[in-house]
A and B are shown apart, each in its own frame.
Chain A
Amino acid sequence: MTIDVKSLEHQFAALCDLDPSERADRLRDIARRDEALARRLAALLDAHDADTIGLDVLPEQGMRVFGVFEENRMIGRELGGWRLTRELGRGGLGVVFAAERERDGVHERSAIKLLQVPAFDADAGQRFVREAAVLARLDHPGICSLRDWGRADEGWPYLVLDLIDGKRIDRAAGGLGTMARIELIARVADAIGAAHRQLIVHLDIKPDNILVDARGAPVILDFGVARVLREEGGDATATLTRWLTPDYASPEQLRGEPASVAADLYALGAVLYELVTGERPFKLARLTLPEALARIERGATPPSRRVAGVGSDLDAVIAKAMHADPGRRYESAAAFAEDLRAIQERRPVKARPDTWLYRLSRLVQRNPIAVPAAVLSVLAIAVLAGMLALQTGDLRKQRDQAESQAVRARAATDLLLGSIQAADPTGEKASATSVDELLAAAARRIDGSEVDDRQLAVESLIRIGEVRSSLSEFGLAIELYKRALELLGDGPDAVSEGRATAVAGLAGALRQAGRPDDAVGLLEDEIPAFGDDGHWKLWQAWGNLAVRRGELERGVELLDRALAMAPEDAHQARASLLSSRGYVPSSIGRYSEALEFYQQAADVARTPPVDRENLATILLNTANAQSKLGNIDEALVAADESLRLRIDMYGERHVRTVPSYLIRAYVFMEAGRWDEAIDAARRAAELEQELTGGDTRRMAAIWSAMGLAAERKGDYETARESFTRALEVQSRILPENHPALAGTRVNLASTMMAAGDYAGSLEPLRQAWEIHTEVAQGKPSRSRAIAAVNIAYSHIKLDQPEPALQWSGDALAEAEQVLESDQWLLGHFRNVHAEALFVNGRVAEAEQAALAVEQTYAASETPVRPDSVKENLSLLARIFEVTGDAERAATYSARLD
Chain B
Amino acid sequence: MSSTDSITRYLLAWQANPGDAHAAEQLSRLAYRYLRQMAQARLKRESGQPFTPTELVHEAWLNLDPTGKALASREHFFRLASTVMRNLLIDHARERLAAKRGGDWLRLTLSAAEREQTLDDETLLDLDRALDRLGHDHPRHADVVILRCFGGLLLKEVAATLNISLATVKRDWTFACAWLADALDKKRKSS
Contacts and interface: CB of A to CB of B under 8 A. Distances in A.
A44 B181 CA distance: 8
A548 B181 CA distance: 55
Contact of B178 (A51, A61, A153): A51
Interface stretch (A119-127, A559-567, A684-692): A119-127
A67 B92 contact: no
14 contacts: A43-B182, A44-B175, A55-B180, A59-B52, A62-B150, A63-B51, A63-B56, A153-B47, A238-B112, A244-B105, A245-B105, A254-B108, A256-B112, A283-B104
A88 interface: no
A241 B110 contact: yes
Contacts of B141: 9
B180 A53 contact: yes
B145 interface: yes
A53 B112 contact: no
Contact of A243 (B89, B107, B119): B107
Interface stretch (B2-10, B37-45, B64-72, B155-163): B37-45
A241 B108 contact: yes
A64 to B, nearest CB: 8
Contacts of B50: 63, 120-121
Interface in A229-256: 233-235, 237-239, 241-247, 249, 254, 256
Interface stretch (A285-293, A737-745, A847-855): A285-293
A289 B110 CA distance: 11
A303 B14 CA distance: 66
B45 to A, nearest CB: 8
A588 interface: no
B149 A55 contact: yes
Contact of A52 (B35, B54, B108, B185): B185
Nearest to A237: B112
Contact of A5 (B40, B89, B115, B137): B137
Interface in A651-683: none
Secondary structure class of chain A's binding surface, majority of residues:
helix
B135 interface: no
A54 interface: yes
B177 A55 contact: yes
B46 to A, nearest CB: 9
B108 A65 contact: no
Contacts of B29: none
Nearest to A125: B48
Nearest 8 pairs of A and B residues by beta carbon: A155-B48, A238-B112, A48-B178, A246-B106, A120-B50, A47-B182, A47-B181, A154-B43
A52 B52 CA distance: 23
Contacts of A43: 182
Looking at chain B, what size class is its interface with the partner chain? 35 or more
B85 interface: yes
Contacts of B105: 243-246, 285
A888 interface: no
A356 interface: no
- The interface centre, meaning the residue of A64, A65, A246, A283 with most chain B CB atoms within 10 A of its CB, is A65
A156 B112 CA distance: 25
Contacts of A234: 115-116
Contact of B108 (A16, A155, A242, A285): A242
Interface of A: 5, 9, 12-13, 16, 43-48, 50-55, 57-67, 69-70, 119-122, 125, 151, 153-156, 233-235, 237-239, 241-247, 249, 254, 256, 283-287, 289, 292, 648
B129 interface: no
B49 A58 contact: no
> Do most interface residues of chain B lie in helix, strand or loop, or is the interface mixed?
helix
B82 to A, nearest CB: 10
B89 A62 contact: yes
A151 B39 contact: no
A65 B53 CA distance: 11
Nearest to A50: B181
A47 B179 contact: yes
A154 B48 contact: yes
A385 B13 CA distance: 64
A287 B108 CA distance: 10
B97 to A, nearest CB: 10
A44 B40 contact: no
B178 A242 contact: no
Nearest to B167: A13
Given A47-B178, A235-B115, A63 B39 contact: yes
A9 B175 contact: yes
Given A51-B177, A119-B43, A254 B48 contact: no
Contacts of B182: 43-44, 46-47
A62 B85 contact: yes
B187 to A, nearest CB: 11
A287 B178 contact: no
Given A244-B106, A245-B104, A12 B119 contact: no
Contacts of A50: 181, 185
A53 B106 contact: no
Contacts of A283: 104
Interface in B71-114: 85, 88-89, 92, 100, 103-110, 112-113
A70 B36 contact: yes
Contacts of B52: 59-60, 63
Contact of A53 (B107, B115, B177): B177
B171 interface: yes
Given A57-B117, A119-B48, A256 B108 contact: yes
A43 B138 CA distance: 17
Contact of A66 (B54, B56, B149, B177): B56
Contacts of B30: none
Contacts of A239: 113, 116
Given A13-B175, A55-B127, A285-B106, 8 more contacts: A12-B175, A60-B52, A61-B89, A66-B85, A154-B43, A237-B112, A238-B116, A256-B110
Contacts of A16: 174
B152 A62 contact: yes
B191 interface: no
Contacts of B109: 289
A155 B185 CA distance: 37
Contact of A154 (B40, B107, B179): B40
B116 A67 contact: no
Given A47-B185, A51-B178, A238-B112, A61 B118 contact: yes
A624 B175 CA distance: 46
Contacts of A285: 103-106
